[in-house]
Structures are given as C-alpha cells and as structure tokens.
Amino acid sequence: MKWLSDDKLDHLRTIAGNPDFSATKYTFVKELGHGGMGTVYLAQDRELDRLVALKVLNTPEITEDLRNRMVREAQIIARLEHPGIVPVHDVGVLPDGRVFYAMKYVRGSRLDEYAAQNSSLRDRLRKFQAVCDAVAFAHAHGVIHRDLKPQNIMIGSFGEVLVLDWGVAKILENPSTDCTDFTDQSAKSVKSVDAFYTGAGTVIGTRDYMSPEQARGEISQLDERADVYSLGAVLHFLLKDQSRPGKAAAAICSKARASAKEDRYSTVSDLSADIGRLLDAEPVSAYQENVVEKVSRWVSKNRFLVLLVLAYLLMRIFFIFTSRR
C-alpha cells in the first residue's frame, strides 16, 4: 500500500469532499470560492452546454416541506428579469442532501476588486446607483436580497453592474405587480416566507453588511430597509478610501446605515434618488446645507458659468481701468 503524505491526504479530502453532481445535469469544473453560507463552483450544464455558477449551501438538513417551499421561491426569484440581476436558473438537492442553486456565470470583477483599481468617486457612485436600481426592482416584486455586499456585486467587462447571489433572499407578502411579467397568482400568494428555510433567530447574511435587526435574527421583521442598511454599508465601503467624499455623501451613508430602520431611507429608490442628486450636485434629502455650502455647491455645479462671468468681470475691470488712463 502506498504511503499517503499529508499533502496527498488533503488532496484526497478535497476531491472526496467536492459535491457529487452525478444526479444532476451539471459537471464539476472547479471551485470558484467559498464563504459562510456555502461554496460556489464552476460547473458545466451538460444539457445547455454552458458554464454556470453553482452555489452549494452549507445546510445539512431540510425537510420535504422546506424543499418544496425552496423550489417555489426559487421560481419567484428566477423571474426577476432585470439587466442588473443575475438570476437563479435552477435549484435542487444533491444526493448528499445539500441544496444547490445554479446561477449565470458572470465574468468580471467583484465590486471590492473594482474599487481597488482606483476608480473615481463619481464612477463608484454611478455603479452604486446601478446596484440600487437593481435592488429596487427586486423590492418592487417583493424580494429582499439580505446579503448585499461588495463580494456579491460584479462589474462586467463592459462596466455593467450585476447583483449576484439571491440564494438567501426573502419573499415579502403583497409584492407590487406593476411589472407585467410578474403577475401570476402563485407569486402573489407567497406569504412572507424565507427563500431558504430560515426561522426566527436564524442569522442570515454577512456580519459587516447586515442590519441590526438581521443580526439579531429577527427574520420576520425584515423588510426592504434591511437591504437599505446593507447598501449603506456598501456605500461606506466605497467611500472609506476617498480623501474628500463630502458631507452630503457621508450623510447619505449615515442615513442608510441608521440603527433604527425607521431612521433609514424608507425605500432603495429614495436612496438611489439621493445618490442621483449628489451626482448632479443637487441638494440631497439626507443633509441640510448652510448658506456657504449651498453657494459652494452652486459654484461647483456651475463652474463654467462662474468662470465665464468672472472672466467677463475681469475684462470689464481691465477696460475701465485702462480707459481712465
């Protein structure tokens, strides 16, 4: 019998521990990454001949009822057709009992990697606004993400923004149905159930980015404002290495991250609107400016006009001065 070195043991553990996709239509390719909730693998969809990202959750035990609920909810999440949302293609259970989700395999950089590449503040804010728009779309259809963080946001090769990993999303009661392709009764009838069989006291999400109520495991109390908090934390991440983010940006960040959810933006659309105003150098709702700041912002916004007027005035002064001689 061949002696197995420690390195070889670790290798054998890895290959034996990798998920068994034999009962699925996927072929294991490689591991892409892992976190507290599960591990993401690159896999080949043999039927459609395409690569997919498969997230296998670290959840040992599920009942038949939970499995059925999970499938129903995955169907709802999969209908979130928005250019900023990477949908769940498929859901299932591996032979060893673990649950997996198949998602579109996105090539690009994660937001944290993208931010590290010296992107400007304006660029970061635009990307952040795009994230808000995608999340607002999901909220409009009754889906809360619950795990928003830079690692779950991808910037594609053409600068497109994609929110990933809706695997721990929560479906709210009475989603609005203003989107014509999301009006079926099965979607409306879902009653405040969690996409991934989370009960009261269960903590879902990532500690640094989760709202206080989420950290306390108050699953039934979670609403859109939990995502507002997480987005505030993402904004904080994007601003923290900026030397002069500005008081208005900091105020938006603080309001989004308020401990009490009543003090936050009531919707992600409101947060997005404030970001839009910030980008347009308009007054934001989160910050009350004094007169100096108002003037400063107006000057900053109308710099060209101010320069033009100044140049005109200087020329007038110059002509007055020279004509008197």
Residue numbers of the site for another protein (CB under 8 A)? Answer: 1-6, 8-9, 11-13, 15-20, 22-23, 27-28, 58-61, 93, 95-98
Closer CB to another protein, residue 30 or residue 107? 30
Token pair recorded at residue 295: 């003037």
- Which of these, 209, 210, 267, lies nearest to 238 by C-alpha position? 209
User: How far is 135 from 212, CA to CA, in rounded Å?
Assistant: 19
Shortest gap between Cβ of 226 and another protein (angstroms)? 27
In DSSP terms, 26 is beta-bridged to 45
SS (H, E, C) 245-281: CCHHHHHHHHHHCCCCHHHCCCCHHHHHHHHHHHHCC
Residue type, 235: L
The catalytically annotated residue of 45, 133, 147, 274 is 147
Which is closer to another protein, CB of 16 or CB of 292? 16
Cα 113 to Cα 153: distance, rounded to the nearest angstrom: 10
Q: How far is the CB of 27 from another protein (least distance, A)?
A: 7
Query: Which residue number, 67 or 297, has a Cβ lying nearer to another protein?
Result: 67
Helix, strand, coil percentages, rounded to 5, for the chain: 45, 15, 40
Which is it for the CA torsion 94, 99, 102, 105, positive or negative? negative
Minimum CB separation from another protein for residue 31, in Å?
12
Q: Least Å distance between CB 4 and another protein?
A: 6
CB nearer to another protein: give 27 or 176: 27
CB of 32 to another protein, least distance (A): 17
Kindly tell me which of 61 and 280 has the beta carbon lying closer to another protein: 61
* CB-count exposure of residue 131 (10 Å: 0-12, 13-18, 19+): buried
Provide the CA 60 distance to its chain's centre, in angstroms. 26
The yes-or-no answer on residue 223 being catalytic is no
Which residues form the catalytic set?
147
